[in-house]
Chain A
Amino acid sequence: MSLSDATLTPPAARGPTPAQWAGGAILLLVLGFAWGAPLLVPADPLRQDLMRGLAGPDAAAPLGYDHLGRSLMARLAAALRLSLSIAGVAVLLAGVLGTGLGVLAAWRGGWVDRALVLLADSVLALPGLLMVLIIGVIISNTPLAFAIGLTLVLWIEFFRLTRATAARLLAAPGVQASRLLGFGPGYVFRRHLWPDLAPMLLTVAAFGAATAIMLIAALGFVSVGIRAPRPELGQMMVELLPYYREAPMALFLPVIAIFLTILALNLLAQGRRP
């Protein structure tokens, strides 16, 4: 669940690949469902109607009901919103932190560089799950804790990539010239680094988001993640698992939701292959 499998070859040609188009389309679909469902069919994801436990679809709940008679569509949408928001915030924070430190390391070099690399390597040695769990204890199990824990896990990939790329780019004659002419770091970053970094950062971000979503669901599945009754994909699966004979569709929904989300992000992360 790290970037180990990313083939970070710089894109030979600009523009998205077919895989990225497909990933983007699926992701839009998922996002559209997560934020659009409550607009189409307003329903409270916590609202129970015990008489409708595991009942089939009707107008108020187009995807049917769970074991407590809560609308599966509302719950699924809420769970997706939660996971995607946490993942989004974590990736954003990690991106800013990782890219910032990466540029800093490449810019300053010397002991700053060595210290940051040592720190990143050491944090990488601690399993991400452990980090998220411990942060979860330190600032109790809120979505914020998850976002912070995940940020601490995800920044490293941004850092490593940015540092390596920036070190190469900063040595190029054009950049040397800009620095000699007295242009500040901001200008150099925008003018010289960003155009090359951006497509790679997108890949890292997509992988990071996929990691985050898997981790949140995994923790929910082992019942140490987001607490009930707030809907969460992994936890929904655990809750619906005992009913897999009675209501296979109910279990299938969160399964397909997480599958599609991660598939979309993985496809999005696939740069152009040489």
Chain B
Amino acid sequence: MIWRALGYRAAQAGVVAFLVGVLTFLMMQALPGDMAFRIAAGRYGYDMVTADAAAAVRAELGLDRPAWAAFMVWLGDLGRLDLGVSVISGRPVWDEIRHQMGASLHLAGAALLLSALIGPPLGILAGLRAGGWLDRGLLVLSSGLRAVPQFLMGLILIVLVSIQLSWLPAAGHGRAEHIILPALTLALGLAAVSARMARDAMAGVAARPFYAFGRWKGLSEGQMLRRHGLRNIGVAMVTFLSLQFVMLVEGVVVVESIFGWPGIGHALVHAIFGRDVPMVQGTALLLGLGFVALNALTDLLTRLIDPREIRA
């Protein structure tokens, strides 16, 4: 069974790579404007982009070759795990992405951790006493939080925490405390959702007969939670956490832009606007494959937690 699931993920990885290739190929085909000029603008800035600079770029990068030829070259390179060279910086795409992916994962990890500390515990507490004051308060709070787009959350946090209170740096990268505000921005959005998920799962479990039976046996609330509750909501939570990764990647693009965080989202936006096709291909591919790998990991984890679970 497990091999079959992994085989499916491998097929998914192949389709992802193909989709990225096709999309970026279309992008190259349809690029409004002259690629050499765009790259020159990205490299030398708007004060220095001239016909001469564009001609130099065109000659250097061999932009005269047709797009399909470039596509074939990319596919061939991919086979050798070579992502090519950024046309803007001239450095290997792999080097650029590695640095930026590291920064993004750092941020995403911190956000996930913070949200895991905030959301599920609150949700479980609320779920144990469904309908109580904590449950109702949490419902209002999470509905409100979910209606605040992440960029807005970031803005509110900067103005509140950095400007009014001067507790934390408003933006930047390089010192430990720089990560707190962007991570919190992402975490609050995630926690709003995970708290509801945990609450619903917990409320469901708590209403089941074996839970009542446990209570009747005289197990304490804490023992109950450990013995029956957590394992039963574990599968839902793991599946859910992996889905949160998608939300994180989306949020990271925006949050990185506001906080000046040198991550993958920042790189992606820049690459698209600089027409840095190898960078776009590289980042899209890595993000897509990362998600597939996470899916595979989730498959494995859910089986570990609950061996009964057999997916359709």
Contact = CB atoms under 8 A, between A and B. Distances in A.
Interface size grouping (class) on chain A: 35 or more
A130 B193 contact: no
Contacts, number: 136
A65 B48 CA distance: 37
A2 B251 CA distance: 12
B27 interface: yes
Interface string A260-274: 101100110000011
B253 A2 contact: no
Nearest to A2: B246
Interface in B148-191: 148-152, 155, 159
Interface string B235-279: 000001001101101110110011000000100110011000000
A140 B32 contact: yes
User: Interface residues of A: mostly helix, strand, loop or mixed?
Assistant: helix
A21 interface: no
Interface string A1-15: 110110100000000
Given A222-B253, A259-B147, 7 more contacts: A2-B243, A5-B197, A7-B200, A125-B289, A134-B272, A221-B254, A266-B147
Nearest to B247: A1
A266 B146 CA distance: 8
B288 interface: yes
Contacts of B244: 4
A5 B193 contact: yes
Nearest to B253: A129
Interface in A221-269: 221-222, 224, 234, 237, 241, 244, 255, 258-260, 262-263, 266-267
Contacts of B149: 214, 217-218, 221, 234, 258, 262
Interface string A148-171: 000000000000000000000000
A127 B27 contact: no
Contacts of B246: 1-2, 4, 124, 127
A222 B147 contact: no
B19 A126 contact: yes
Interface string B25-38: 01100111000000
A129 B268 CA distance: 10
A97 interface: no
Given A129-B253, A134-B23, A222 B16 contact: no
Interface stretch (A35-43, A84-92, A115-123, A193-201): A115-123
Contacts of B272: 133-134, 137, 224
A176 B15 CA distance: 34
A126 B20 contact: yes
A137 B151 contact: no
A130 B26 contact: no
Contacts of A123: 19
Given A127-B250, A133-B269, A259 B30 contact: no
A221 B151 contact: yes
A139 interface: yes
| Minimum-distance CB pairs A-B, first 3 | A4-B243, A263-B147, A122-B15
Contacts of A51: none
B56 to A, nearest CB: 24
A2 B242 CA distance: 12
Nearest to A115: B15
B33 to A, nearest CB: 10
5 contacts: A7-B200, A134-B27, A137-B27, A137-B272, A258-B149
A263 B143 contact: yes
Contacts of A241: 155
A125 B159 CA distance: 34
Contacts of B27: 134, 137-138
A208 interface: no
Contacts of A1: 246-247, 250-251
